[in-house]
Chain A
Amino acid sequence: MKKQNFDTIFCDALKCNHCGLCLQNCPAYREEKQEKFSPRGRVQIACLLAKQKLNLKQDRKDILEAVKTCKNCYNCAVLCPTGIVPQNINERLKNILKITPVTQNKSLFKNLIFKIYFRKFFKKTDNLFITSSRNFKQIKQSLDLLKKNNFESSLYKESVCFTPYTIKKLPDFKTYIFDDIENYRLIKNAFLDSKIKLDIKQILFITQILEPKSVKLPEDSLIVLSNTYLTQETKEEEMKLFEAFKNKTLNFVNNRYYYGPNFHPKTVEYLKNIPQKTLITLSERENIFLKKLIKKYKFKKEVIPIQFLI
């Protein structure tokens, strides 16, 4: 590719003033402690490509190694003072290097059962319900609920973490409805990113279609809302989304250390000591991680995805 091309693709990477704020928030850097495995390093790779100091052919192997370590957690974007999203830049690097973005291991058999079980939901509507849940019962419940609220939708299953670039593979619909807050944020980010042009009209989280009162939270429960994929731009919108529960049970848990082999003692301590017995999760990944954590540190808390409460 010529220089001009890289310049336009990575124009936001050139904003980076290499301050180093993102380093300690990156799970990959905290494990490896090397510049090339940090968000700043990956953004600088993009800059160096744009400035023609690195060559895509000659240095392909090294660039590939660096780019692959990103764990798609978006924690770097939360802090970046210049407002760029290092993870998006990394995805663009992946596109240029022609590696497929992170997708789940699709088991063919499971997919087949899924398709048979939900066959009547694959139809033409205005809305698309994108789920990442593994629980069939839960998915069906949500679909029925959508129908009740005049949001009759078709079904699409995606894995726990997909990237803004897989969005281009999604079928065309007017409205996307998510049951996973992380995926919702991802697509919302891509929607706000002017460089990725999308023809969607609306992106909704599943609780948004209901009146806030119809979500019944148990009395001693706590919504665990992490900051994964949360950027400055989506933050405000999200505040509106959860305003109804603000006084009752909402709480932010910084999940800077959720990922990787060890949980940060601060997170464990905090969750152990809260009086609430039930934790309500908004994303599939959080659900899995919290269950793992509780099992590992042996304390009693119930973990429920929010869809079961609607």
Chain B
Amino acid sequence: MRESKFKQVLQELKKILGDENILISKLDLLLNSYDSSPIKARPEAVLNIKNTSQISPVLQILNKYGFSATVRMSASNHDGACIPIKGGFVLNLAALDKILEINTKENYAVVESGVINQDLQDILKPLGFFFAPDPASRAFSTIGGNFALNAGGAKSLKYGASAQNLLGAEIVLADGKILSLKKENPILHLLVKSEGTLGIITKLKVKILPLPKHKETLIAGFLNLKDTMQAVQQIISLGFLPSALEVMDENALALTQYNNSDIKTLLITELEGTKKQITEDIKQIVNIFKNNKAKEIKTNLDKTEIKQIWNTRAKAALALAKQANGLMSFDYAVERPKLAEAVEFIQNILKKYNLRGTIVFHAGDGNLHPNIIFDDNNYFEANQIKLATKEIDNFIFSIGGTLSAEHGIAVQKRASMNIFFNRDTIGLFKKIKNALDKKDILNPQKILPLCENEKQDVPADLQNFYNDALSTKEFDFKQLKTLNKIVDFDKENYTLTVQAGALIEDLNKQLTGKFFLPTTQKKGSLLDLFLSGKDTAFADFVTGLTFVCGEGLITVGGKFVKNAAGYDLIHFMSGTQGAFGAPLLFTLRLLPYQIKSKTNKNELKIDETLIKLKKVFDKNNIFKPKIFKGYLDEETKL
């Protein structure tokens, strides 16, 4: 049955793609069965897509017959995101590598999804611009892949990860429908950052920034990790915002043969801005280093030295690869003050299970990368890693961290999702996937865990709202006014956790010194600001969100800066006018300066996909029922 279906699909595909672009030889299938992770699975056929317009008809056919489609480009993923676990078809989009438009007046570029990150950088540099997301794999990873997994890199503390640099996209849904989405559209981030499980990205409109006028790199070597982290902490809490703050541990330094053997940890700081300001900043930062017993401080480095330092940083993971054929790279993120604690714990675990590995991290945004090597053919060692990761996962959750900051979940971390998300949230994720991709053809069996979690208790102060959300009468948004307390104001970490009804005026009074809310608005409540989507940049600085909807109490994100775990519901909820649920708690990133952001009027444009999602989030239509009033009935009639 399946075989005859398969033959039929191939015949129909031949009309669209041509004979030579459908590969079914054993060699091709085997060569498309791996990526940078240890996971392997063989597809049934490989399709070379040469043109963005071919994707929609191909998906229509695959959807009709229920064959799965997994996108593959450079296949440099660490977690098996481009492995066709369920078999089916691999769509090779690597040939979609055209840069379509570069607009230096309005600071954007339009690219196809297969463009290599470094290629865009190379073309922008002579024009005096750069593209902010710079993952260590920028020389060979594609921009489409970067955005699908929300990749960050060293500079994401200052310029944000991929999500903060996204302006628009063209996406093909599972049924072959082509959507071109602008930044205002709430589903843009949800679809783009779904690791290819909700839609296939064909084109991206990305932010480009003018090159900084002046750049300076500092190095400081420390004798132990605690001193290093204290220095980092002080740099951040004094309000400096370096474009990079990278730390390498002892093992990483030994492997890269850094020339000073006394030093146990190395801190690389990069500052960008005007020359005057930087020279002042450097003086203060050097003082911080000295106060924290830095052993070696280097300033005024010349170009070759800077290049060398960044090369050693880039080599940290790669040098490990020489020793074994299996490399697992993790990407937890925790709040900055707890970094030292987490690193120490992981180092102990590695010792306990006799594993070899290094830890390097982007200290500025709390993102740490334990790289563990193992022998691919040694089952015992693979099992040890499983046990070790389970312990580390539990610990990271207990200190409020995230499972993945920039690599994504895919297959490898799927089982751990149940630790980090509650049952309602995972349930909502599954329903979103089901609503947009009924036959489960797009990158199937990724992100979402197979088994179900136990149900967690709802906090007492939120119980009322939870009950309201599950009832059938209209949800009263006015009652949220009573929710206006600050839950947690972390001055060291520059974050603020606050209840949704809090007024911006009140908050501004309480934030003294160098703390600013990430918005230009002065009046109204945070809730209104968030739901209206008036302030275009505000959602980029919301790192954690708790809200109620028809599916229960949903919690995503936390006190960390970068996050790539699960679907991006934070950007989705902003600008939905409250039709999809009511926010109760925000975690905001505070800034050391007043932000300049644009405001615009934002109206919810209702289309087919939004209606599908509305039915998932709020099947009884109790949240702002006026917005979707006519639309839901029409759908049911059809």
Binding site for B on A (CB under 8 A): 14-21, 23-24, 33-36, 41, 44-45, 48, 53-54, 58-59, 62-63, 66, 81-83, 265-266, 269
Residue from A17, A18, A45, A53 with most neighbouring chain B CB atoms (10 Å): A17
Query: Are A36 and B28 within 8 A (Cβ)?
Result: yes
- The answer to whether the Cβ of B332 comes within 8 Å of any Cβ in the partner chain is no
Query: Are A44 and B31 within 8 A (Cβ)?
Result: yes
Query: Are B27 and A24 within 8 A (Cβ)?
Result: no
Give the contacts of B111-133 with A (CB-CB under 8 A): 114, 116, 118, 122-123, 126
A-B contact pairs, 10 of them (CB 8 A): A18-B36, A19-B318, A20-B76, A21-B318, A23-B140, A44-B31, A53-B30, A54-B26, A59-B27, A62-B28
A45 and B74 contact, Cβ closer than 8 Å, known pairs A15-B325, A35-B32: no
Determine the residue in chain A with the shortest Cβ distance to B122. Answer: A266
Distance between A134 CB and nearest chain B CB, rounded to angstroms: 34
Residues in chain B near residue A20, CB distance under 8 A: 35-36, 74-76, 137, 140-141
Determine the residue in chain B with the shortest Cβ distance to A58. Answer: B26
- The answer to whether the Cβ of B327 comes within 8 Å of any Cβ in the partner chain is yes
B322 in complex: contacting residue of A54, A62, A82, A265, CB < 8 Å = A82
Residues in chain A near residue B34, CB distance under 8 A: 18, 44
- The answer to whether the Cβ of B435 comes within 8 Å of any Cβ in the partner chain is no
Stretch at the interface among B7-15, B90-98, B286-294, B453-461: B90-98
B325 in complex: contacting residue of A17, A53, A54, A59, CB < 8 Å = A17
Distance between B189 CB and nearest chain A CB, rounded to angstroms: 26
Interface residues on B, range: 35 or more
A33 and B319 contact, Cβ closer than 8 Å, known pairs A24-B74, A54-B27: no
Inter-chain CA distance A66–B27, complex, in Å, is 10
Residues in chain A near residue B95, CB distance under 8 A: 33
Residue from B26, B95, B122, B137 with most neighbouring chain A CB atoms (10 Å): B26
Inter-chain CA distance A15–B373, complex, in Å, is 12
Query: Are A269 and B126 within 8 A (Cβ)?
Result: yes
Query: Are A17 and B326 within 8 A (Cβ)?
Result: yes
Inter-chain CA distance A33–B318, complex, in Å, is 24
Residues in chain A near residue B25, CB distance under 8 A: 59, 62
- The answer to whether the Cβ of B569 comes within 8 Å of any Cβ in the partner chain is no
Give the contacts of B38-70 with A (CB-CB under 8 A): 48
Residues in chain B near residue A53, CB distance under 8 A: 30
Query: Are B322 and A81 within 8 A (Cβ)?
Result: yes
Distance between B379 CB and nearest chain A CB, rounded to angstroms: 16
Total A-B residue contacts, Cβ distance less than 8 Å: 90
A34 and B140 contact, Cβ closer than 8 Å, known pairs A20-B76, A269-B126: no
Determine the residue in chain B with the shortest Cβ distance to A269. Answer: B126
Residues in chain B near residue A63, CB distance under 8 A: 27
A82 and B321 contact, Cβ closer than 8 Å, known pairs A19-B76, A269-B126: yes
Query: Are B140 and A24 within 8 A (Cβ)?
Result: yes
- The answer to whether the Cβ of B139 comes within 8 Å of any Cβ in the partner chain is yes
Distance between A188 CB and nearest chain B CB, rounded to angstroms: 21
Determine the residue in chain A with the shortest Cβ distance to B72. Answer: A35
Determine the residue in chain A with the shortest Cβ distance to B97. Answer: A33
Query: Are B321 and A17 within 8 A (Cβ)?
Result: yes
Inter-chain CA distance A244–B38, complex, in Å, is 47
Determine the residue in chain B with the shortest Cβ distance to A14. Answer: B325
Residues in chain B near residue A81, CB distance under 8 A: 315, 317-319, 321-322
Determine the residue in chain B with the shortest Cβ distance to A82. Answer: B321
Query: Are B118 and A24 within 8 A (Cβ)?
Result: yes
Inter-chain CA distance A265–B99, complex, in Å, is 15
Inter-chain CA distance A303–B538, complex, in Å, is 57
Query: Are B74 and A59 within 8 A (Cβ)?
Result: no
Inter-chain CA distance A33–B96, complex, in Å, is 9
Inter-chain CA distance A18–B36, complex, in Å, is 5
Determine the residue in chain A with the shortest Cβ distance to B139. Answer: A24
B30 in complex: contacting residue of A19, A54, A58, A266, CB < 8 Å = A54
Residues in chain A near residue B315, CB distance under 8 A: 81
Determine the residue in chain B with the shortest Cβ distance to A232. Answer: B322
Distance between B333 CB and nearest chain A CB, rounded to angstroms: 22
Distance between B127 CB and nearest chain A CB, rounded to angstroms: 12
Residues in chain A near residue B48, CB distance under 8 A: 33-34
Query: Are B321 and A19 within 8 A (Cβ)?
Result: yes
Query: Are B27 and A45 within 8 A (Cβ)?
Result: yes
Determine the residue in chain B with the shortest Cβ distance to A41. Answer: B31
Q: CB-CB contacts of B303-324 with A at 8 A, as 1s and 0s? A: 0000000000001011101101
Distance between B129 CB and nearest chain A CB, rounded to angstroms: 15
Inter-chain CA distance A20–B116, complex, in Å, is 13
Distance between A178 CB and nearest chain B CB, rounded to angstroms: 29
Query: Are B94 and A62 within 8 A (Cβ)?
Result: no
Query: Are B35 and A36 within 8 A (Cβ)?
Result: no
Query: Are B36 and A17 within 8 A (Cβ)?
Result: yes
Inter-chain CA distance A240–B75, complex, in Å, is 38
Residues in chain B near residue A21, CB distance under 8 A: 76, 139-140, 318
Determine the residue in chain A with the shortest Cβ distance to B27. Answer: A62
